[in-house]
Structure 1
């Protein structure tokens, strides 16, 4: 079991570190991570019109704008997470390149941007999910923001989606203590390279 105090301290420290980065620094690191992602090899990434779940950064996370643009360029179907209730799993709604950073996104109660309308699908219908995180370790364990949305959403998913962490290099720690319900990563993309678990 994870010590909640340790998690709290780690979350606070790494979130603070994310916020010290300047806009140009974040943009550059987002670009470098997208370049790393372009080298990733997986059968789902070769699939025409693969369904990819991704998030729009909102709390100092590694930016996803270059990544979203790359996904559209490759012809993937892009889905954003939608919070319907704090105790329920996430739903995912397909977006187009035209509305990805424009009007049809609103901020939900927890501050992230999500589509206001569209057909909702479940995480298990995605081929790939690119996940935000506060920290990850060398075994692919992930520490999220604390809401448990991704853990709930992926709890009953077996063979897909492929779970990819999206993070700054400093978010990689030696070891995280995990709970039985914590969902780990299959891969991670950092500005400096790729990790396969």
Structure 2
């Protein structure tokens, strides 16, 4: 990875961690209002969504709203054997009771031994650190989403969530292993991307 991307990643990590809880809740409310009207969300039943941990857009209200709409909610868990993600269905009661374990990387995971492959999800709501106007996404650096999606025979619709300041003003280099997103929601706007494009 280039020094420029490393510096940009470090800058965005710091900026995202400085977002206040109040601002995060405002962002979450604004994005949830957009998500409620989003056709792909309305028509999806099995929804994968992350638990925020490192300054990502909060997902608590989004998860709760999924339950009220009788969506099947799946949370990611890292498979230690291959460093890919599997998806664990969680009930409203388990979510309310915070039935999670702490992964060594610092995020919470559902407690289970087996989960669904990403191919069985209808919609995947993804975190990110940086994005551009072509749908290129840069994450925290672990590569979990990229590895998981790259090996999937079928890939669900990928919807990123971000703060407005996470938009790169310049096109990002998309490496062969980078998995782009199909669409993205911020507090003030939404984007739809073509998944494949010529670089």
Query: Is TM > 0.5 for Structure 1 vs Structure 2?
Result: yes
Map of 1:191 onto structure 2: 187
- How many matched pairs? 192
Q: C-alpha distance in 2, partners of 1:60/1:103?
A: 19
**Correspondences of 1:68-87 after superposition (within 5 Å):** 68-85=63-80, 87=82
CA distance in 1, matches of 2:15, 2:81: 27
Partner in structure 1 of residue 21 of structure 2: 23
Residue 37 of structure 1 contacts residue 194 of structure 1 at CA under 8 Å; is this kept in 2? no
C-alpha contact (below 8 Å) 2:123/2:156 kept by paired residues: yes
Is there any run of 5+ residues in structure 2 with no aligned partner, and where? 194-199
Q: Does 1:107 align with 2:71?
A: no
User: Where does residue 169 of structure 1 map in the other structure?
Assistant: 164
- In structure 2, the partner of 1:11 is 9
Q: 2: distance between equivalents of 1:57 and 1:101?
A: 15
Match of residue 62 from structure 1: 57
Q: How much is the aligned-residue C-alpha RMSD, in angstroms?
A: 1.6
TM-score, normalising length: structure 1: 0.91
| 1:82-113 deviation per Cα after TM superposition (whole angstroms, max 9, x unaligned) | 01227421011000112225331111111111
TM-score normalized with structure 2 length: 0.90
Report 1:115-194 matches (<5 A).
Answer: 115-117=110-112, 119-157=114-152, 159-174=154-169, 175-194=171-190
Q: Relative CO higher for 1 or 2, CA cutoff 8 Å, sep ≥ 6? A: 1
Whole-Å separation in 2 of the counterparts to 1:73 and 1:194: 24
What runs of 5+ residues in structure 1 fail to find an aligned partner?
none
